[in-house]
Amino acid sequence: MKTPSYLYYHFVNLLSVFILNRFQMSSLNLKTIDRVATISKKDFIQQYVKPQIPVVIERLTEDWPAYEKWHLNYIKEVAGEKIVPLYDDRPVRAEDGFNEAHAKMKMSDYIDLMEREPTNYRIFLYNLMKEVPAIQNDYKWPDIGLRLVKQMPMLFFGGENSKVFMHFDIDYSNILHFHFHGEKQCVIFPPDQTPFMYKIPHSLISREDIDFDHPDFEKFPALKQAQGYICNLKHGEMLYMPEGYWHYMKYLTPGFSMSLRSFPKNPKFLIKAAYNLLIMRHYDNYKRKTKGQAWIDEKNERAITETHKNLGIL
């Protein structure tokens, strides 16, 4: 005869297994990214660049004028009159060109909107420094052992809760991603995790209906095998993302970021970058024009069927 205490413990046991399973089933396999306050050039190269491991450097910007200045009110002051391109999180459609903006607004109106309420409008890859050359004096090229591409860096802005879809960059660069004003969460995956990412063919993105905060493992079981990293970036902190890393970013509060880049060293990535720039994006644009939405739908479908076929998922 089973005693009440036996039944009680059995019940608690089952409940904890259930909770544990649910927990494992509902979250991605993510390691917290290493953090250092400062690091020498030699250690950065040895410990992170050579093995291609991400790291957050907390105090790299402390001696930049940007550390004091780069807040949204300053951007409003220097760039408020500029008309900026905005992107929301709508899925790619055939009628949109490659990286075509969804709306335009005066920078000051956009900053007011961000400060007033959560908005999913973001500014993606905008050359604000070309428009407002004065802000070029606010940052320094870090002497960190990477040969950085000395072109004007792009800036990214996002309102509270805005999300940058999971993607990797067309040139597979090493990226130094600096964040200002607010707090941002970054979820990143090394390029060798691509088989699990439901990559859309002829593009740089994962399927857009994947919610990387709460992935649906029934529909996207391959994601259970993906092993990535996570960090939260605060004002002035820099995330080093090695070559070709997938990244999904979520602005926890309104803020903005700047990326500096260094071309990939891995010859495989250099070839892929050249292919993406010279062939892939033109081919994709051509197919969108000639096949329309059917091309987008076909690619979305293939992201699932090809992923599952390659991994032997029935």
Ligand X SMILES: O=C(O)CCC(=O)C(=O)O
Segment contacting ligand X (CB under 6 A): 25-33, 102-110, 156-164, 205-213? Answer: 156-164
* DSSP, res 209: T
Pairing mode of beta strands 55-57, 34-36: parallel
Does residue number 259 form part of the binding site for ligand X (CB under 6 A)?
yes
Does residue number 276 form part of the binding site for ligand X (CB under 6 A)?
no
Does residue number 257 form part of the binding site for ligand X (CB under 6 A)?
yes
Q: Is 132 exposed, middle or buried (0-12, 13-18, 19+ CB in 10 A)?
A: middle
Our CB check for ligand X shows the closer of 122 and 199 to be 122
Contacts of 277 (CB under 8 A, 6+ apart): 170, 171
Segment contacting ligand X (CB under 6 A): 1-9, 101-109, 169-177, 279-287? Answer: 169-177
Q: Which of residues 124-153 bind ligand X (CB under 6 A)?
A: 124
Helix (H, G, I), strand (E, B) or coil at 158: strand
Contacting residue, 156, 229, 246, 248, with ligand X by CB under 6 A:
156
State how far the alpha carbon of 302 is from the alpha carbons of 156, 192, 198, 215, in Å. 30, 20, 9, 19
**What character string, x for contact with ligand X (CB under 6 A) and - otherwise, covers 197-226?**
------------------------------
Tally the residues of the chain. 314
CB 244 within 8 A of CB 191: yes
CA atoms within 13 A on the CB side of 155: 23
Does residue number 72 form part of the binding site for ligand X (CB under 6 A)?
no
Q: Which of residues 96-125 bind ligand X (CB under 6 A)?
A: 122, 124
Residue 273 corresponds to which tokens in the numbers above? 């970058």
Contacting residue, 163, 177, 207, 288, with ligand X by CB under 6 A:
177
Q: Report the interface residues with ligand X, using CB under 6 A.
A: 122, 124, 156, 158, 164, 169, 175, 177, 247, 249, 257, 259
